[in-house]
Structure 1
Amino acid sequence: MKFTLNWLKRHLKTDVQYQILLDKLSAIGLEVESFQDQGADHEQFLVGHILEAVEHPEASKLKVCKVNDGTKTLQIVCGAHNARPGINVVLAPIGTIIPSNGMKIKASKIRGVESQGMLCSAEELCLNNLLNKTSNSLLLDQVDGILELSSDVEVGRKLATVLALNDVIIDIAVPSNRGDIASVYGIARDISAAIGKLVHYPQQTIVESCRNDIKIHIDRTTQCGEFLCRKISNVIDRGQNEEYVKLLGMIGSVSDLPLVNISNFMMFDYGRPNHIYDANKVKGNISVRKALDGEQFVMIGGNEVQLDASVTVVADEEKVLSVAGVIGGELSKVDAHTKDIIVEVADFSPLEVTTARRFLNMMTEAAYRFERRIDAANSSFFMDIISRAILDQCGGEPSNVVTAKGQRVEYVAEILYDHSRFEALVGYNISKDLAISILERLGFAWKQSEGMLRLQIPSWRLGDITRQEDIVEEILRIHGFENLPSADLSVQYKHLSEYQRSNLYLKETFLDRTRGVLASRRMTEVITWSFADEEGVKGLGYKECIKLKNPLTANLKVMRPTLVHNLLQLAHKNLSRGTDNFSIFEVGHVYLESLEEYQMCCIAGIRVGNILEKNVHTDSRPNDFYDVKGDIYAICNTAGLNTEALSIARADSQYLHPGKSATMCIGNKLIAVLGEIHPMTLKRYDIHQNIAVFELFVDRLPIFTPKLPRAQLQLSDLQSVTRDFAFVVDDKLECANIVKIIKLVNKDLIEKVTLFDVYVGSGIPVGKKSVAISVKLQPRVKTLSEDDIQDVSKLIIDKVVSTFGATLR
């Protein structure tokens, strides 16, 4: 949210330098994303006077101007059509930085003629918003061309002084749960708990001089909590409020219409979205209801849309006046001819506003605030404030306020706070009196209750503060993280046993080594949100997810139950930008209520496109199941796990290809899933490339133990022997079981068992399949005789036949 320092000081008494104020804003959680010192940006610009302007000898569209800067005459080449003798202009001397593009002015030659500066336009000065919106006699109306200043302005003076550009534009990030700081007053109220003193809004008294006969109906199908309206008759256009226009201009939200500027200013200032209708365009009574399917609505600006029953609207007896909390209608807006108005102040549901603005595919300043929840307790107070602003600027005859009540969400209004929770959570304590002082400054009312504090949550924080931990956070952020004493981090682990500390170290070491191993396998590490789109993860088969009370955005409503969803979203983004072949992985936690401590460490990776590009020697090869299987084996080797101990079974996963996927277990504990993504899953993510994926559950691996030094690899001098076998087995039998049972026949002699063919077709009975397996025998003591080989072969055949009911082909 943008505002200015001078605007903030309307509500905050403080003499601190603005750099200190900015630091304090960030320190208490109001993150400053950017700031622009208008005075510093325009400090070098001067008022100049054009003495002469002649055509450039080499370019008819350029002019060579003689410009007086107050002390001397400069020659400047200018291309503006309105550059002419006798006018005052804005001069950028050599060395000046242009605000719009950061260009530094240098002495130069333009088409052979020396130029000693630059004459500037409003756009180059970033002053567009001040033109045509103000009666400032020093700033003339000139958008197309260089900016012209009044002849009354003294030549040579600094532009920042002439136009009073002594302000700082500040932009802060407003979290999704902090709608209370989506206003200048709200920011002042919050920062005043740490620095300065809050200047409260004065109570306004409105003397009603006419009757408002409009009836308001809130349909029960909507979640509108409250709707207020006041009619003001005979308003007059007395021109703009200079202060409002200047402040709105600084943040780029100024309008030509005084009523619109008042409405916008009060929204930015106090945080309450509102709307002003032309009363003569409203027919009959007003209702808040759901739109009809196919109902027409013309938005401000003229765009016409067809609404549906998911959208909440404000309507009269003939038409839709506005989409509730999002945007007003063209057919009821105020204009230069408006004489009578209706002022709306309402409490629309955040969920309904989100639904409507998504339907319209737009975000407005009103929707931005409704989505973060407004302070509904001040509706009548705010109605009088905005009414007073209108009456002071435009005159008129105010009516009584008509109010309708709807369904209002109930929030936790009281919390029982035990101050011992502060030290328990923070590991450091402050006095109870200091904590109470901070809470009072934040607007909390309190009373003692059996040694604890019964806190009344201020209306502007309802829905955000719900438990003791929130109170600890409030106290801590105002007290200041910088005031916490430094601590020896090693002390934090003293409560752990030597075994636990060793295991933590070994796990982190394993993860670091895993990152190196995957990087060596040409994979790139990424980091994604710990949150996910609820519908997206449901599409992967995760039906029960941990939901966030205050999601950052509507698309990040749940804690991620898998790393795969975010990786697939990232794959779509990269593919849409022309990157076709890549492999990425992530190390992070997944979150499910069914998990111990609700979270588990995982490693997941995806391989997209080709692992081998076509070249003069070979064709391209796409990534497949065996590539990600190799990734898991490489990780297991890093952990010191024997991959022979892994049992592989067919995966029953909604998002994996049923014939090209598997699970890996140690005993009966699932440690990994892997395979190629199901084509229907790829379609949901709008991906048209083959993708192989793995997800390994680190916390399910055997307890980490220090790796013993590897024994030296002993190579046998004796010749190995390979024998192939083909068995006909049930087509439901997993081939991995056959491989595993063969390895157990003679562990000392059988070195390697490989499945190299599976056949179904002619000559094979229905419901059966033929599997071909190669067995490598490696003697260690003596060379194998034919009888030795036959004995082992018979044992293999007998074991497979007896175990699986197989027949030898």
Structure 2
Amino acid sequence: MQFPESWLREFCNPPLSSEQLADTLTMAGLEVEERRPAAPPFSGVVVARIEHLEPHPQAERLRVCQVDVGGGERLQIVCGAPNARAGMVVPCARVGAVLPPGPSGEALHIGLGQLRGVASHGMLCSAQELGIADDASGLLELPADAPLGQDVRTCLQLDDQIFTLKLTPNLAHCLSVYGVARELAALTGAPLHTPAWPRVAPTQTEVLPVQVLAPDLCGRFSGRIVRGINAGAATPAWMVQRLARCGQRSVSALVDISNYVMFEFGRPSHIFDLAHIEGGLQVRWGCAGETLQLLNGQTVSVDETVGVIADAQALESLAGIMGGAATAVSDATRDVYLEAAFWWPKAIAGRSRRYHFSTDAGHRFERGVDPATTVEHLERITELILQICGGQPGPIDDQSLNLPQPQPVALRVARAAKVIGMPLTLEQCAQALRRLGLQVHEGQGSLSVTPPSYRFDLQIEADLIEEVARLIGYEHLPHTPPLAPVTALAQPERRRGPYALRRQLAQLGYQETINFSFVQERWERDWAGNAQPIALLNPIASQMSVMRSSLLGSLLAVLKFNTERKAERVRVFELGRVFRHDAAVPDGPTSVAGVAQPLRVAALAWGDALPLQWGEGARSVDFHDLKGDLQALLAPRQARFEPAEHPALHPGRCAQVWLDGQAIGYIGELHPRWRQSEGWQQAPVLFELELEPLLQRELVQAQPVHRHQPVQRDLAVVLPERVAHAELLATVRGADRTGWLTDVRLFDIYRPKPDRLLGHNAGAGGLVEGEQSWALRLTLERDDANLTDAQIDAVVQSVLAALSAQLHARLRA
């Protein structure tokens, strides 16, 4: 909602500065989002009249003007504006004037100039050069009666402040200058100037027949015919200026009048060209298959849920939203039909979004417009039309069919005091509400309030409590410290917080992302294998219709966003909730029956394994890079990785992560099918784990320095290719009964090429197809004594025996 301060002060003019006025509105809930002057700073520009002009002797497009700047002084100014003419009143920047910054960003200083050999004592200005409009096609024409020599800022009220309010949906009664003034009067106690709305006497008796067939769409319909108007009349400069300062450009006199009354009193209206109405009008719901070409050129189809105004031939308007092109007024219009109606908010809400546009009328009607003033506002529109365009008005046809009946709302003073947090009396509450113009009936410790017709938002007790708090002033509420004891909760040493986990992932080179918990249904079906996700009843967008049961889709969407913008290396993670059906979950303060909401952490890596550098060649990140990061995240705890399958991951490059005997998630490379569908040349690698197990940690315990040297033995064993690394290490550690085996490391894997298998080359170490050679380093250590060769050999032989018996391994020749 945008309007000039001067217009607001015509209705209510409290003794406050512009800054104080903005603060008062903001503290009352009418947030002043912006306050700016109507024009940027400039000086030295006065009102002048062109007395005479003649062609420039050296330039075809320039003319030499003799300009009267008041006080009998005339200046010679060279001008190239195409609309310059004798007798025209224009802004004149005298020598020494400073104009607003131009495209270069620097202010323009006007000096004595020479244009093609002719002296120029100033500059005649366009609206763009003064910074008040974008029009640079010619000089800005001022009113013919403007005083010569007067400062242009005073003449055009350019020091006026433009207020922009950011209104919440419950403040529909403030979507007009008069509505804001009404609130300002209640807040400050300044008098409110209420217009009289004088009746316009009809000069002819014609009435257009109108049938309202849908009372649930239109509760009141008022209209009148005005004949013999001059639709081509110019809109007065004062109206054009006010509309411009409300952010509305001038279109034509009739359209400008309708818009002006909407900004003035919040009443959207429509003016039909009477010559194009066949028969009478019907106000009804649409029928399937009907179409309408709107004023914006768009042709829309309606159905039984969209309100329309139709004549005997076709649809003429979308009810409460936008008129049709067929009955639009033009300069050739001579007879018009004026309409002002009350449309039920529920009948208008959401219809504009269905057709992918919005209008000022729809914005107001879907929030609620006063049904009690249709006739008064119609009189105001008629008054302005007669002043500007002339004409002969007919009588007003006013039909009231189904008006909202205000229901009394009770306010308990004790409840208001508890919610607001300060002691209140019955008198204080009643006085605050009466200042708003509400009908208040006092009872024993409570009030009964009947909302006026323009307050659609006052429906429950909490609404009245809010009004009391606003009128008392939020800045006057007491600062009451909390009385509850604050006790710090002891954090177990064996548990770390989620922020520590975030910091560790950031130290590993990952950036945190925060994504919506509602996602596309396709993500759940394809990437989570969830055929029945939790659906939203009212999604904010069609592509966000279900709750996620996995974080992988969100990370892949982040990767897609970055790769589309030519990112070469992506490392991201997210810590958030997922949602899935679980009948075992009860209803409670922090839970919803049948819905599990566990926390998970997921990470994604894509691109080069290392940033661009000289020390190591470029290579793509792979499964083992991400596995290393995950092991660093879990250290010193050791996870176990077992081959597994996941809907989003590569079937041969996916593992299930086990920690302390519990499966906590998956790690792997994205499935080739999804990689190709997203257009990635390289597959990202991902993991997703339950958060709770990761928050547990082992305490560091001091260990004495060993007094005896460790012993290392290397073994090369031939194993079937199906044997997993975790299985091999578990077998080796399980074979030691002495406790001297402190570490086992795999340091080499040998897989011969097909032409070097047994039977082709005897140097292959005796390997046959389906076998591989693994080299292990065993570290043995004893605390109380040095190990002897016999003891070492005994441990090695027990390891070999276990490998042979359990994994069918043999020592490589």
Q: TM-score, normalised by structure 1?
A: 0.72
> Which residue of 2 is the match for residue 289 of structure 1?
285
User: 1:168 deviation in Å?
Assistant: 1.7
Aligned residues of 1:218 and 1:405 also touching (Cα < 8 A): no
Kindly state the Cα deviation for residue 658 of structure 1 after the two structures are TM-superposed: 7.2
Structure 1: 5+ residue runs without aligned partners?
130-141, 759-768
Quote the Cα distance in structure 2 between the aligned partners of 1:348 and 1:770: 80
Q: Answer whether contact 2:600 2:690 (CA < 8 A) is retained.
A: yes
Letter in 2 for 1:319: A
Q: Give me the CA root mean square deviation.
A: 5.8
Which residue matches 2:422?
429
What do residues 126-171 of structure 1 show as CA deviations (whole Å, max 9, x unaligned)?
5459xxxxxxxxxxxx962222446654443210222233522122
User: Does the CA-based 8 Å contact 1:230-1:343 persist in structure 2?
Assistant: yes
CA contact (8 A) 2:2 2:164 kept: yes
Cα separation, 1, equivalents of 2:728 and 2:11: 77
Residue identity in the other structure for 2:28: I
Q: Name the aligned partner's letter for residue 89 of structure 1.
A: V
Deviation at 1:122, TM superposition (A): 1.8
What pairs with 1:87-236 in structure 2 (closer than 5 Å)? 88-92=89-93, 94=96, 96-98=98-100, 103-106=106-109, 118-128=123-133, 144-149=137-142, 153-176=146-169, 178-197=171-190, 198-199=192-193, 211-218=207-214, 224=217, 226=219, 228-234=221-227, 236=229
Match of 1:778 in 2: 779
Counterpart mapping for 1:613-692 below 5 A: 642-644=636-638
Kindly state the Cα deviation for residue 19 of structure 1 after the two structures are TM-superposed: 1.0
2-side partners of 1:442 and 1:706: how far apart?
A: 64
Match of 1:792 in 2: 799
1:342-367 deviation line (CA, Å, top 9, x unaligned): 515242656865354343x3232223
2:378 corresponds in structure 1 to 386
CA deviation profile, 1:392-429 (whole Å, cap 9, x unmatched): 533511342345659x9x99984665745754x67x42
Match of 2:4 in 1: 4
Change (3 A) 1:76 1:237: closer
Partner of 2:755: none
Any idea what the Cα deviations from partners look like across 1:723-749, whole Å, max 9, x if unmatched? 66756879xxxx798589669737964
1:708-762 CA-partner distances (Å, limit 9, x unpaired) = 68879999854364666756879xxxx798589669737964556899999xxxx
Task: Assess if the C-alpha contact under 8 Å between 2:97 and 2:109 holds in 1.
Answer: yes
Amino acid at match of 2:395: P
Q: Deviations over 1:238-267 (max 9, x none)?
A: 854665443212223243433322322233
Decide whether the 8 Å contact of 1:47 with 1:90 is kept in 2: yes
Distance (Å, rounded) in 1 between the aligned partners of 2:307 and 2:729: 63
Q: Is the 8 A contact 2:409 2:461 kept in 1?
A: no
**Residues 60 and 310 of structure 1, relative CA distance in 2, 3 Å threshold:** same
Structure 2 distance, partners of 1:439, 1:246, is 36
Q: Per-residue deviation at 1:320? A: 2.7
- CA distance in structure 2 between the aligned counterparts of 1:255 and 1:565, rounded to whole angstroms: 49
Aligned AA (1:644): Q
Partner SS, residue 25 of structure 1: helix
Letter in 1 for 2:210: I
Check whether the contact 2:524–2:548 (CA below 8 A) recurs between aligned residues.
Answer: no
Q: Secondary structure at the match of 2:288?
A: coil
Change (3 A) 1:614 1:330: same
**Structure 1 residues 160 and 387, CA, compared in 2 at 3 Å: closer, same or farther?**
same
Alpha-carbon contact 2:641-2:658 (below 8 Å) kept? yes
Q: Where in structure 2 are there 5+ consecutive unaligned residues? A: 387-391, 592-596, 752-769
8 Å Cα contact 1:83/1:146 also seen in 2 = yes
Cα gap change, 1:11 to 1:672, in 2 (>3 Å):
farther
Q: 1:400 aligned to 2:393? A: no
The corresponding residue for 1:267 is: 262
Distance 1:453 1:798 in 2: 89
User: In the alignment, is residue 21 of structure 1 matched against residue 21 of structure 2?
Assistant: yes
Q: Describe the SS at the equivalent of 1:497.
A: coil
Residue 30 of structure 2 is matched in structure 1 by: 30
In 1, Cα distance between the equivalents of 2:33 and 2:417?
30
2:488 aligned residue: 498
Are the counterparts in 1 of residues 412 and 445 from structure 2 also a CA contact under 8 Å? no
Contact 1:266–1:386 (CA<8 Å) still a contact in 2? no
1:265 is paired with a residue of what secondary structure? Answer: helix
Q: 2:764 matched to which residue of 1?
A: none
The question of whether the paired residues in 1 share the 8 Å contact of 2:43 and 2:99 is answered with: no
Counterpart for residue 761 of structure 1: none
Give the whole-Å Cα distance in 1 for the aligned partners of 2:170 and 2:663: 38
One-letter code of the match for 1:160?
R
- Matches of 2:447 and 2:505 in 1, distance apart? 53
* 1:327 corresponds to 2:329: no
Shift of 1:644: 2.2
1:16 Cα shift?
0.9
The answer to whether the 8 Å contact 2:39/2:131 transfers is no
Corresponding residue for 1:248? 243
Provide, for residues 61-100 of structure 1, a one-character-per-residue CA deviation record: whole Å limited to 9, x for no partner: 5678787766988887755345678755323465634278
SS of residue in 1 equivalent to 2:590: helix
Counterpart in 1 of 2:759? none
Q: CA deviation at 1:696?
A: 6.4
How far did 1:37 drift? 1.4
Q: Note the C-alpha offset of 1:565.
A: 6.9
SS of 1:266's equivalent?
helix
Alignment of 1:39-78 (within 5 A): 41=41, 44-48=44-48
Measured in 1, the distance between the counterparts of 2:97 and 2:628 equals 61
What is the rounded CA distance, in whole Å, between the counterparts of 1:206 and 1:326 in structure 2? 27
CA distance 1:437–1:450, change in 2 (3 Å): closer
**Correspondences of 1:563-642 after superposition (within 5 Å):** 574-579=562-567, 581-585=569-573, 597=590, 607=605, 642=636
One-letter amino acid matched to 2:325: E
Whether the aligned pair in 2 keeps the contact of 1:288 and 1:313 (CA below 8 Å) is: yes
Given the alignment of the two structures, is residue 354 of structure 1 paired with residue 350 of structure 2, yes or no? Answer: yes
The 1:479/1:418 distance shift into structure 2, 3 A limit, reads: closer
Counting aligned pairs with the same residue, the percent is 24
Q: Distance in 2 between matches of 1:7 and 1:588?
A: 51
Provide the C-alpha distance between the structure 2 equivalents of 1:597 and 1:327, rounded to a whole number of angstroms. 46
Per mean C-alpha deviation after superposition, the further-off stretch among 392-401 and 302-311 is 302-311
In structure 2, distance between residues paired with 1:682 and 1:463: 51
Give 3-state SS (helix, strand or coil) of 2:284's partner.
strand
Amino acid at match of 2:92: L
Q: CA 1:333–1:728 in 2, change beyond 3 Å: closer, same or farther?
A: same
Helix, strand or coil for the counterpart of 2:150? coil
Cα distance in 1, alignment partners of residues 125 and 257 from structure 2: 31
Q: TM-score, normalised by structure 2?
A: 0.71
Q: 1:430 to 1:232 in 2, by over 3 A?
A: farther
Write out per-residue CA displacement over residues 439-476 of structure 1, whole angstroms, 9 at most, x where no aligned residue: 554566666788566666666565686674x6655554
Structure 1 pair 535/705, CA: closer, same or farther in 2 (3 Å)?
Answer: closer
